[in-house]
């Protein structure tokens, strides 16, 4: 497997894991008040948008030429880290 394919698979796996965690959090929505539920929905919608950005970057890396994909890695990791940070922050807000 090429280095690019290994990287893409790693990013996909991590994204799938974080989306699963987001789904777990989504299951807890029923425990919230109506107002908190609306805010929750807004935050989840934003997290889903970020997840789509990560998926789009993965696809961009996948489609990039052999000499170009490495230049996209830093941007992909930045987007993914922002998504992970947002999910973790969201989780911390639900505990509080």
Q: By the 8 A CB rule, do 59 and 19 touch?
A: no
Q: By the 8 A CB rule, do 54 and 76 touch?
A: yes
* Domain spans, the chain: 3-95
Q: pTM for the complete prediction? A: 0.76
CB atoms within 10 A of CB 41: 13
Q: By the 8 A CB rule, do 60 and 71 touch?
A: no
Does the pLDDT at position 12 exceed 90?
yes
pLDDT digits (tens, 9 = 90+) for 39-80: 888 888 888 999 999 999 999 988 988 778 888 888 888 888
CB atoms within 10 A of CB 60: 14
């Amino acid at each position: 497997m090429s280095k690019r394919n290994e990287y893409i698979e790693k990013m996909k796996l991590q994204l799938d894991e974080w989306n699963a965690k987001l789904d777990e959090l989504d299951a807890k929505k029923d425990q919230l008040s109506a107002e908190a539920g609306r805010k929750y929905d807004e935050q989840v919608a934003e997290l889903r948008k970020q997840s789509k950005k990560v998926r789009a970057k993965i696809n961009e890396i996948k489609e990039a030429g052999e000499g170009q994909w490495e230049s996209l890695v830093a941007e992909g990791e930045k987007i993914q880290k922002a998504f992970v940070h947002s999910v973790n922050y969201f989780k911390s807000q639900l505990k509080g």
